[in-house]
């Protein structure tokens, strides 16, 4: 397995969201430094894929991606990766991402 950098992994996560293509992220998800909120990475991938399909069906393109830190977020080093469409006020997809020196933790957020 390739040793992807955190930057490579996060960039591919963003690209995967913007293109609604979970397959782009699959090899990066398998990296040892990626940790998810699911019981295993296969379950995370399945849920992530379904979330992208749902986000695509509920969105009006073009899409916009923002990395934000909500006022209510109390975890240090945690950012929200939010995918917005061109008409809705609220994000179509939100992932909670926490980076540490040696890992990236990715958590799916409800719509």
Q: Are strands 34-36 and 104-108 parallel, antiparallel or unpaired?
A: parallel
Give 9's contacts (C-beta < 8 A, 6+ positions apart): 28, 31, 33, 34, 104
Mean pLDDT estimate for the chain: 94
Tens digits of per-residue pLDDT, 40-92? 999 999 999 999 999 999 999 999 999 999 999 888 889 999 999 999 999 99
Cis amide bond preceding 62, omega within 30: yes
Model pTM? 0.92
Q: Which residues contact 84 (CB under 8 A, 6 or more apart)?
A: 63, 64, 65, 66, 90, 91, 92
Domains of the chain: 6-108 (3.10.450)
pLDDT of residue 75: 86
| pLDDT at residue 65, rounded to an integer | 96
The pLDDT value given to residue 39: 93
């Amino acid at each position: 397995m390739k040793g992807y950098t955190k930057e490579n992994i996060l960039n591919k996560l963003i690209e995967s969201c913007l293109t609604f293509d979970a397959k782009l992220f699959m090899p990066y998800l398998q990296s040892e430094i990626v940790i998810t909120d699911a019981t295993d990475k296969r379950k995370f991938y399945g849920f992530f894929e379904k979330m992208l399909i749902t986000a695509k069906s509920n969105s009006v393109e073009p899409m916009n991606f923002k990395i934000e830190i909500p006022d209510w977020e109390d975890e240090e080093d945690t950012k929200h990766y939010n995918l917005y469409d061109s008409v809705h006020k609220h994000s179509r997809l939100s992932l909670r991402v926490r980076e540490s020196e040696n890992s990236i933790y990715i958590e799916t957020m409800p719509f």
